[in-house]
Amino acid sequence: MHLTSKHISALMDSIPHLVWTMGTEGRLEWANGAWSRLVGDSVGADVDTSLALHLHPDDRGRRSEQWRRASHTDESYEIEYRLSAPDGALHWYLECGTPARGELDGPVTGWAVISTPIEQRKRTEEELQASLQERDDFLAVLLHELRNPLAPIANALELLERGAGEVAVVKLARATVHRQLRQITRLVDDLLDVSRAARGRLALHVRPIDLDEVVETAIESARPMIELRNQVLTTSRCSSPIQVIADPVRLAQVLTNLLVNASKYTHAGGHISVIVGQDDSTVWMRVRDDGIGIAQEMIPQLFRLYSQVDPGSSSSAGGLGVGLAVARQLIELHGGTISARSEGVGRGTELEIRLPRR
């Protein structure tokens, strides 16, 4: 097919890129349809002035400076900026300008410029940057959380060295070491589960189980932390046994996570309750506390990986922000759901697990 100037013009008008040529003084000589639709100026208009009317305020000075530098050095240039569409929406573009010469080594006679939409690329860059920042934040918290237990363990060992013959000292030191080792083990187990989940290797070993056994196991695991904070734990269960098809170890792990989370975000002397019930199609376990609560806008983030209830605030209890994310994945593998409710900051939280009945 022989391409005529009419064909080429139609082709240039159909593409989403802004394409134009301009003289050495930066005045428009020719532009394609995308330019006309977005910018609208005709031949002879000053390109820098025309674009400035549509550029984001933060990008106007940068674009002008880039053009001035290129026009003085006669060198190709690139610059990213945001242009407003006719509907007012801002979109990212990459402008590339190349000097045109009548002869190979002759003087510059004008400029050929193309400005390419890069909205998707910028979104990808922003998502990648956010992901890298999230990773860096997580690693900082991880190092902090792994380091925290070391000081109490070192203090306990020093106590043992000084008072190895005193029964009370030995009991206190042993309790401290056991408690801190449990914390480290829980951190490592959560990280292993995150790794398994990322590779699709979170496995369940299901069988018929009594839900009361799961509750007892979880309470036993979380009791040391609850007692350390002098919190009151109560349970409410059905008079008859409730059976489900589930992995008892994993289900107890989830409930333990919920209890530990409730204890962390409840003041010393506060109250935590575990409520077990059922209806025609589901069974549920609820962990309720009268702790710091959570703002409504934060609830959707609660089960996101590396998310914390209130990171960085005075009420934040630290942590990796992986426990509830792993809990959600495990419950969904069981065919169930996990959700959170709170009446707001300072008004406690309720976390609920729902599983299909046997």
pLDDT digits (tens, 9 = 90+) for 207-246: 999 999 999 999 998 998 899 899 999 999 888 888 899 9
Query: What confidence category does residue 312 fall into, taking pLDDT thresholds of 50, 70 and 90?
Result: very low
Instruction: Note whether residue 172 is domain-resident.
Output: no
209 and 319: one domain?
yes
> Which range (34-43, 68-77, 330-339) has the least confidence?
34-43
User: Do 352 and 210 reside in the same domain of the chain?
Assistant: yes
226 and 91, same domain (yes or no)? no
- Cβ atoms 261, 323 nearer than 8 A: yes
28-31 vs 18-22, strand pairing mode:
antiparallel
SS3 219: helix
Give the model's pLDDT for residue 135: 77
Q: What is the pTM of this model?
A: 0.59
Q: Minimum mean pLDDT among 6-15, 149-158, 201-210, 224-233: which range? A: 6-15
Mean pLDDT, to the nearest integer, of 233-262? 91
Quote the pLDDT of residue 311: 40
pLDDT in tens, 38-76: 888 778 999 999 999 999 999 999 999 999 999 999 999
Based on the fold, state whether residues 9 and 111 are members of the same structural domain.
yes
pLDDT at 320 exceeding the cut of 70: no
On the question of pLDDT at 315 being above 50, the answer is no
Q: Is residue 192 domain-resident?
A: no
Report the b/e string of 131-151 with b at 16+ CB within 10 A.
Answer: eeeeeeebeebeeeeeeebee
Instruction: Answer whether residue 147 shows pLDDT above 50.
Output: yes
Give the pLDDT mean for 272-283: 92
Q: Are residues 215 and 328 in the same domain?
A: yes
Q: What is the mean pLDDT of residues 165-171?
A: 81
- Domain edge (last residue) among 93, 117, 141: 117
Question: Between residues 40 and 266, which one has the greater pLDDT?
Answer: 266
Does residue 135 fall inside a structural domain? Answer: no
Paired strand residues for 308: none
Q: For residue 216, what are its two tokens?
A: 């007892």
Q: What is the CATH number of the domain that holds 87?
A: 3.30.450.20
Task: For residues 258-276, give the mean pLDDT.
Answer: 94
Phi-psi map region of 355: left, alpha, beta (phi>0 left; psi -120 to 50 alpha): beta
Query: Residue 49, Cβ neighbours under 10 Å: how many?
Result: 12
Q: What pLDDT shows up at residue 319?
A: 55
Give kind and range of the element (H or E) at residue 330.
Answer: helix 323-333
Cite the DSSP H helix spans in 39-118. Answer: 47-52, 57-73
List of residues 6+ apart from 274 with CB closer than 8 A: 215, 218, 219, 233, 234, 235, 236, 255, 259, 285, 286, 287
Range with top average pLDDT, 2-6, 138-142, 350-354: 350-354
Question: Could you tell me which of 181, 184, 347 has the C-alpha nearest to residue 267?
Answer: 347
Query: Band of the pLDDT at 358, cuts 50, 70, 90?
Result: low
335 pLDDT band, cuts 50/70/90, is very high
Tell me the pLDDT of the chain averaged across its residues.
87
Q: How many structural domains does the chain have?
A: 2
In the DSSP assignment, the letter for residue 7 is H
Average pLDDT over residues 24-36: 93
Q: Which of 55, 82, 117 is the last residue of a domain?
A: 117
- Between 128 and 188, the more confident residue is 128
- The number of beta carbons lying within 10 Å of the beta carbon of residue 329 is 19
List the structure tokens of 188.
């490592």
In a domain, 138, yes or no: no
Which residue, of 65, 90, 117, is where some domain finishes? 117
pLDDT of residue 300: 84
The model's pLDDT over 180-200, given as tens digits with 9 standing for 90+, comes to 888 788 778 877 887 787 777
Query: What is the domain extent for residue 20?
Result: 5-117
Lowest mean pLDDT segment, chosen from 59-63, 99-103, 168-172? 168-172
The single-letter code of the amino acid at 23 is G
Strands 271-278 vs 232-236: parallel, antiparallel or unpaired: parallel
